[in-house]
Chain A
Amino acid sequence: MPLLEVDNLTTHFHTREGVVKAVDGISFSVDRGETLAIVGESGSGKSVACYSLLKLIPQPPGKIVAGRALFEGRDLLQTDNKTLQQIRGNDIAIIFQDPMTCLNPYLTVGEQLIEPLIYHRNISRKEATQRAIEILGEVGIVEPEKRINSYPHEFSGGMRQRVMIGMALIAEPKLLICDEPTTALDVTIQAQILGLVKALQLKRNIAVIFISHDLAVVAGVADKVAVMKDGLIVEQGPVDDIFYNTQHDYTKKLLASIPEGAKPETSNPDASNIENTPLLAINGLKTHFHDYSGGWLKRNQKVIKAVDDVSLKIQQGEILGLVGESGSGKSTLGRSILQLVPVTSGSVIFDGTDLTSLSPAQMKPMRRRMQMIFQDPYASLNPRMTVFDTLAEPLLYHGLATRKTVTEQVLALMDDVGLARSAIRKYPHEFSGGQRQRIAVGRAVSTKPELVIADEPVSALDVTIQAQILDLILTLIDKHNLTMLFISHDLSVVRYIADRIAVMHHGKLVETGSTESLFAAPQHEYTKKLLAAIPVADPARERERQAALIEPIINS
């Protein structure tokens, strides 16, 4: 008998708009020492399903309508709250997605770590604290006896996730639910955390349910995979079957959406072109920020060197990918080029003009020629303006349309970016994330710019939508002969779209090279580390890589 056997689990949410069948009768099982991955896009019901098991969904509006969840022979859905409390944290533990918000900021990590022991094991605080120090060491926190008295905000994101893992494992649960445990983390940290979870699982022989939107992440850790869509499991089976012998169309679509390989060699600039003056040349660019958090009168202000002496050239018609982890300064570089943030020193020469020397009035005609696509389609559109208002604004402001022609031009633009013409009078909140990003792309190309800076344009989107938007961007680049700086933390996305790649680390450019050569033979240590950390949607290769990561942890 499996450790957990879920049968026909059904959870509904009662909202103003009616009943939402978040989980619509799903069945799965997981055994000791086994990892089940549940994969799906946002809103597929994968998290709700797991939270339903422990009744951690808000009720109301949520309601578990039907189903059975046998855990060691006991039906979790039928147990009273008291028993369930004893199971939570003790037999079944959860690691949540965002380590920044999931730890209580008002209590020390030690206090939070020992709670499961105090309430489930009935041991003294002293013993519990001893155990907490041990587990902190085990999850890779240095000087655990000191750090145990620190507060969550004194840890980095990756360290907090380690604390979360320690907290989940401290009471020796039999089942561990990991809800997107690495989505909020950088790719190099992600690899470490995945290795840690896997190693601890092997050591303790516990069952793991691993929830993720990312098939590539799942490939290395899962034994079984269940693919969810709209509250249903559309396909489930052993990990190799799912990847190598895919049955369901949706799974195929998911796999196809993973950006893989370099883009086809079509718009490669000619060799002669490189000799020409580049469209954009950055020389010794520095953008520093002053940290006023200590009070603006203080003399010892901290200076944050977001962009620190960066030089870069982009040729006409080229797509340059700019890669780096969070805090590397890649977004600031993009904004510095467009003069959206004050530059400290250096020059940004666009088509022969140094933008840093221009007055705001002189800058205005230049702004038409260079545009930006932002990361968050929920924040980058004015919520009080319709699609028409948003798209007509640049056209009218720059005199590219008259009041007579503007409607026609907006409609043409909407056709270009794949929006239904009938949506012209709608407001941003009435669209999905992908559609909103189409509006934002439309706004960026509306002024017929020569240079477009795309700042993580697809990172907030689901993987299938991501692929659509990437293809849209590629089409528009071809159609309008655009030059693009494509900023992303995701190397596989950049590989898919860029001709050349620049890698940023701590405000500095560490390596630049053609996409092909950079992936084939990275020069800089950091680039190597970054490349090694990318998960690929290939279970065999991923397992191999995992093994290398796990070995040292298990032996320690």
Chain B
Amino acid sequence: MSDVPWLLTMIVVPAVGGAAVAALPKGRDALAKQAALAVSLLVLVLAVLATVAFDTGGERFQLTTAVDWIPAFGVQFALGVDGIALVMLLLIGVLVPVVVVASWRDTGPGGRSMKAYFAWLLVLESMMVGVFAATDVFLFYVFFEAMLVPMYFIIGSFGGPRRQYAAVKFFLYSLLGGLVMLASVIGLYVVSNSQIGEGTFAFDALRQLDIDPGVQKLLFLGFFVAFAIKAPLVPFHTWLPDSGAEAPVGGAVLLVGVLDKVGTFGFIRYCLPLFPDASRTFAPWILGLAVAGILYGALLAMGQSDMKRLVTYTSIAHFGFIALGIFAFTAEGGSGAVLYMVNHGISTGILFLVVGMVITRGGSRSIADYGGIGKKAPVLAGVFLVAGLSSLALPGTNSFVSEFLVLLGSFPTRPVFTIVATVGIVLAALYVLLLIQRAVHGPARGKVTDTAFPDLRRREMVVVAPLLALVIGLGVYPQPLLDLINPAVAATMGDIGSDPAGTQPATAEQGAN
């Protein structure tokens, strides 16, 4: 089964599906939705099959496909996954169908046809799979940039009132970061050209280069800026609240849940193994940004009056935790960070979706317009609570495991940063519980009384059920994911030659506790 080109299929199927949906005649919105759902479910099945075909004890990169693409540049169309990329593919596989169902009843601004929205979603899925599956740096860059186009149209055509501004800001920030990274990509190529004798972009070959420390620092910074904008780390984050707030809910879930993970994925896949010396040099600074992000994101989240902006600020805090785990250079911290990437996708995804359901009912994004949702819509309120608790990493929910692993892994090497970061846990409890208290508890008021405020419909139950199951399931038993992640993280930490004294292998017991 391992010789089936799973990854290629996972890129081609949604791309073709997207083109087919776009080509449907006008007025066939219903068919477009059904087709999009079918295609995205098919991708989920493919992702699961790829996981089955993946051997956790096997080579680092598996399910590989490689053909020459642009020989003049030494570029290959090379795909392959390690455990880290594979869990991200699973996350994409789960989130896209959920988003399709969640967007089922959305209407475009100004009566736009939603057909294009579903077409762009599928194209985006194809690009997202590509960006995680690429093992050629050039190919990675191509997907990294091309991914902007569908998201740009999703925000700009189907978003909220300030969607034009948000879409352009999103695109320009990412484009700037991407172009700076392009300079580094070319720099890597030139270094490989002088060391190996022929220019290459193959990750495995580039990993073995011995790059001069001065050059390493420059190249590292190019990649770092791109990923720090994407992730985003403070102070590169200002585009995210605008984009997250203005994007349609489905787009926001994918933006924060998956697209931004490309940044943290980039840290662990490209920055650490390719530039180990530079990573070590800059680690204290980056950890400083990470911890600043944890506190700053949490404080700003508390001050938000707009629910969607609040959720995006919580994400900025969470990205701080992920960066902390990665740049602590321990196997546990790294595994925790990768697991956090998945868990954050799930818990922020469900939080965004629930917030979106509230906004659809009340027609306002302002927290002050709501109160006592629990009285009129108890099931919705319950889901809201669980989503919030998952976001604040309550034990028993998925996020707890990863947050705990990150802190546990970072403490031995970076005690100060870790201790400061734990303050973020308290702040997380504050911003989530304050939101829940204001919107869910107390007497019904504001939009909750003014409008018909029905409880969850059957379609919405279908949307939240799988994510709820994952929140609890991965909270209790994260081992299958850790089994996938751990070898890849260990290999990455081996690349960077992290100090074994500070490294303890992340074992099953620690993961599960």
Specify whether A and B are partners: no
